[in-house]
Amino acid sequence: LERIPNAEMHFYGAAEKKNEWYLQQVLAAAGDEVGRHVFFHGADFEAINHLPLYDLYVVLGHYQGCPNALLEAMVVGLPSILLQTCSPEELCDAMARLISDRVFAERLGRAGREHVLGVFSMDNMTRRYMNLLSQQTVPVRVMEAALAA
Question: Higher-confidence residue: 106 or 68?
Answer: 106
- pLDDT recorded at residue 143: 57
Q: How far is CA 66 from CA 41, 73, 103, 149, in A?
A: 21, 12, 26, 30
DSSP run (H or E) holding 148: helix 140-148
Find the helix or strand (DSSP H, E) in which 97 lies: helix 88-100
Cβ-defined contacts of 2-6 (< 8 Å, 24+): 3/92, 3/96, 4/96, 4/99, 4/100
Q: What percent of the chain has pLDDT over 90?
A: 21
Query: Is pTM beyond 0.95 here?
Result: no
Q: Is the pLDDT of residue 84 over 80?
A: no
pLDDT tens track for 53-83: 999 998 876 666 668 888 999 999 999 988 7
For residues 13 and 44, what is the distance between their CA atoms, to the nearest angstrom? 7
- Model confidence at 85, pLDDT cuts 50, 70, 90, reads low
Give pLDDT, residue 29: 81
Rounded mean pLDDT, 2-31: 80
- Look at residue 21 in the predicted model and tell me its pLDDT: 80
